[in-house]
Amino acid sequence: MKNNITLILALLLAFAASAQQKGDVLIKNGTVLTITNGDLAETDVLIRDGKISKIGKGLKAPSGAKTIDATGMYVMPGIIDAHSHIALDAVNEATSPVTAEVFTGDAVDPLDVSIYRALAGGVTTSHAMHGSANAVGGQCETIKHRYGTVDPEALKMKGAPRTIKFALGENPTRVHGAGNNMVPRTRMGVEAVFRNSFSEAQEYMAAWNEYNVNKSKKGFKGAPPKYDLRLETLADILKGEIIIHCHSYRADEIYMLMQVCKDFGIKRLVFQHVNEGFKVAPELAEFGAGASVFADWWAYKFEVYYSTAYNATILSENGVVTSINSDSGELIRHLYHEAAKTQKYGGLTDKDALSMITINPAKQLGIEDRVGSIEEGKEGDIAIFNNHPLSIYAIPMYTIIDGVLQFDRQNDPDDMRIYVNPEEKIDVTFSQNDHTVDRCMQGTEFLFKN
């Protein structure tokens, strides 16, 4: 009994020590699904110092490196979720239609056991997003699931591009228009919020440029413009430093945001959910916007009533970079199964289906040169399955991040909490499968009670 506890603690400590660490692993003799370079039978993958150093046959493990026998198993790149809210203490600053200044990176919660559950589904990277209560939501953080640490910084994927959440349609109009009687109450208002925000940001940039040019001049008497973190952030979007990830459903609003972005010279744009993206697929492809979709969610609210589970296929066939996301602590655990639904709904190839949860979301997050495929030089993020990951009979067996084994189905204990709530006695029994509220609306529920 006592030994068990000691074991758990030792394991946890081992995890804590491994946070941010880079490891060496040799994965032997698996079927390697590289995504970008075909499938390689009975092939080894060697990870050294956190990076994939060699892919080939008969590789030798360097001394001290862990070896995983993947005979009969499938080795794929760590799964990437372009839309999630796990590992966050706060999701929505729902008090204003524009909150570009807030940042989910400030609320990263490395203690969330959902991170481990995602690992147990082969997911190594997720996009910890702000919610969809505001037309311009907050900036988001791209995290790696380095579970086992109390340090939020250890989860952050340093160097990943900045991203920000936008939202269209029912959520922002409901929260602000219906809830607080302020713009936007309609999709017209949503557009106006964007145009106002970007126009103000242009003025703001101009004012600061003028000030910075003049301030070193002799005898300059001017005052600096009022500093505004919100406008600073919007200005960074205009400068192309931040990728917009926009919660959207209806074709008309998707089209609207593309027009707004064209008018303001914004090029980096990914639509999230985008249930009616298939209706404007040619326009999305032409713009070069990404689409990050649910495999089959629909009808839980009116703006997704005219949806189809063939969305991903239609988008993909029209040349839109498309990913399948979870937006849920439940779905994130079986994204490989969600990706397989593109084969049921539209008959995508294995490679195209798997791209939806690997290289495509990587592209949407601007991290495709680091993760999303098994290539030499890329980061050692790997998921290993006992069966082909698109099969219903696939079980994730190992998940590796930066060459460090983060999930091992055979050896991990049941209780994977890092901190235990000292006050808690009776445990939360959540009611499951409630699609009435988007996870995106987390933290705004109380606005709608009564």
Interacting residues with other proteins between 309 and 368 (CB under 8 A): 309-310, 313-314, 317, 329-330, 333-334, 337, 340-341, 343-347
Which ranges of 19-151 does DSSP label H, i.e. alpha helix?
A: 113-119
Contact pick of 28, 32, 70, 103 for other proteins (by CB under 8 A): 103
Q: Which stretch binds other proteins (CB under 8 A): 34-42, 68-76, 370-378, 391-399?
A: 391-399
71 touches 30 (CB < 8 A): yes
Measured from the CB atom, is 107 or 367 closer to other proteins? 107
Contact pick of 158, 218, 377, 427 for other proteins (by CB under 8 A): 427
Please tell me whether residue 137 adopts helix, strand or coil conformation: strand
Residue 56 touching other proteins (CB under 8 A): no
Distance CA 269, CA 274 (A): 12
- Restricting to residues 233-272, name those near other proteins by CB under 8 A: none
| Angle in degrees, CA 41, 43, 48, rounded to 5 | 150
Distance CA 201, CA 183 (A): 19
Measured from the CB atom, is 217 or 425 closer to other proteins? 425
Strands 136-144 and 162-167: antiparallel
Return the number of other C-beta atoms located less than 10 Å from residue 350's C-beta. 16
Place of tokens 């952050």: 156
User: How many residues make contact with other proteins (CB under 8 A)?
Assistant: 116
- Per DSSP, the residues of 346-403 read T---HHHHHHTTTHHHHHHHT-TTTSSS--TTSB--EEEESS-TTSTT--EEEEEETT
Greatest alpha-carbon span in the chain? 78
Q: Phi and psi at residue 206, in whole multiples of 5°?
A: -60, -45
- Restricting to residues 134-153, name those near other proteins by CB under 8 A: 138, 150-153
Measured from the CB atom, is 344 or 370 closer to other proteins? 344
Residue 214 touching other proteins (CB under 8 A): no
Smallest distance, other proteins to C-beta of residue 359, A: 20
Measured from the CB atom, is 4 or 214 closer to other proteins? 4
Contact pick of 223, 377, 410, 411 for other proteins (by CB under 8 A): 223
Q: Which stretch binds other proteins (CB under 8 A): 44-52, 75-83, 373-381, 415-423?
A: 415-423
Strands 123-128 and 79-84: parallel
Smallest distance, other proteins to C-beta of residue 39, A: 16
Smallest distance, other proteins to C-beta of residue 71, A: 20
Q: Which stretch binds other proteins (CB under 8 A): 42-50, 96-104, 197-205, 262-270?
A: 96-104
Residue 428 touching other proteins (CB under 8 A): yes
Residue 300 touching other proteins (CB under 8 A): yes
Report CA-CA distances (Å) from 211 to 227, 230, 308.
Answer: 12, 19, 52
Q: Which stretch binds other proteins (CB under 8 A): 27-35, 222-230, 236-244, 397-405?
A: 222-230
Mask 171-210, x = binds other proteins (CB under 8 A)?
Answer: ---------x-x----------------------------
What own/partner pairs with CB < 8 Å and gap ≥ 24 does 284-290 have?
284/254, 284/258, 284/315, 284/318, 284/320, 285/318, 285/319, 285/320, 287/258, 287/261, 287/262, 289/258, 289/320, 290/320, 290/321, 290/322, 290/323, 290/360, 290/363, 290/364
Residue 229 touching other proteins (CB under 8 A): yes
Distance CA 408, CA 36 (A): 26
Smallest distance, other proteins to C-beta of residue 229, A: 4
Contact pick of 58, 63, 158, 393 for other proteins (by CB under 8 A): 393
Tokens of 79: 């799964």
- Restricting to residues 26-55, name those near other proteins by CB under 8 A: none
Residue 156 touching other proteins (CB under 8 A): no
Residue 11 touching other proteins (CB under 8 A): no
Residue 74 touching other proteins (CB under 8 A): no
The amino acid present at 330, given as its one-letter code, is E
Place of tokens 């993020």: 381
Measured from the CB atom, is 200 or 228 closer to other proteins? 228
Q: Which stretch binds other proteins (CB under 8 A): 27-35, 51-59, 369-377, 433-441?
A: 433-441
142 touches 123 (CB < 8 A): no
Distance CA 138, CA 146 (A): 23
Tokens of 265: 């010279």
Residue 106 touching other proteins (CB under 8 A): yes
Give the single-character DSSP code of 78: P
Measured from the CB atom, is 36 or 391 closer to other proteins? 391
Measured from the CB atom, is 152 or 372 closer to other proteins? 152
Smallest distance, other proteins to C-beta of residue 79, A: 15
Give the single-character DSSP code of 224: P
